[in-house]
Amino acid sequence: MSHSRLFEIPTGAWYSIPLYQEVASRWTGLNALYLFLFLLISWFPWVVKEQGDLNRFAEEWVEPLISEFPRFGISSGKLWVEGEPRRTISDPKTGRPLLLIDTTGQTRSLKGLSVSALVTADDFIMRKDAEVEEKMSFSQLPNRSVTPQELREFAADWIPTLLWYSYPFLLIGSFLFRIIQVFLLAGVGLIVCPLLDTELSLPALIRISVLAITPAMILRTLCNVLEIAIPFSSLLFTLITIGYLVFGISASRLGKSKGFRDSRSEW
């Protein structure tokens, strides 16, 4: 498969009978390079959008929130705060109480409080639901003090690049997921082939499956970037993918009737 043909797949996968015929009967390998490059490109606009949203969130919410925090630290497994030992941290936008800091020992539970989290001298307590609380002890933490300025610098260093650092992990994770999806789809193809009175090797079905998942992946990417919510989207995209699998197998059957010769299998 040439590099020029590689970049024809995202558009041809929507409609091109000759492309499906060539992929099944003349190309070799499993189209893994195309799948990897397609995911590399398709994740890019999502990362750009989400990183921009995260940057705005940091500017509008995180930085004002940090300004409400006092200087604090851990000493011998106990939390201390500078100034008033009991204070409430509120949402900068709505003014709704979010966090209660109370190192006096008077408050030990979120029961009866409107905040979602509580910090005592010994624990960080978060509300999991109406009845359940999760607790993290400070007893094992090293001695350290933190200033609001240090929090601002930490946020300024990490938030603007956070999703870019996650880009490789998103890419690798999605690639492995799609590989599994492609093999499962190829298994469905083994069932569909006899129903369509045709015969294809497993590598050919895998190559067709890579093409078949392309339209749904493009639609999913557009929906994510444009923030379009489609009811039952997973079911819809699955049906689209299976439809293109049947389309690809039917195209291959038509190609064989016109004299296309099968390629050798390459794993």
185: number of Cβ within 10 Å: 23
Confidence of residue 56 (pLDDT cuts 50, 70, 90): very high
Helix/strand number for the chain, H first, E second? 9, 8
187-220 tens-digit pLDDT: 999 999 998 888 888 999 999 999 999 999 999 9
| CA of residue 11 relative to chain centroid, distance | 24
- Stronger pLDDT, 175 or 131, i.e. the higher one: 175
The Cα 145–Cα 80 span in angstroms is 9
Does the pLDDT of residue 40 top 70, yes or no? yes
Q: Domain ranges in the chain? A: 3-53+162-257, 72-146
Mean pLDDT, rounded, for 180-187: 95
Taking the complete model, does pTM exceed 0.75, yes or no? no
Confidence of residue 266 (pLDDT cuts 50, 70, 90): very low
Any bridge partners for residue 136, and if so which? 124
- Six-digit token string for 57: 């969130």
Q: What percent of the chain is predicted at pLDDT more than 90?
A: 42
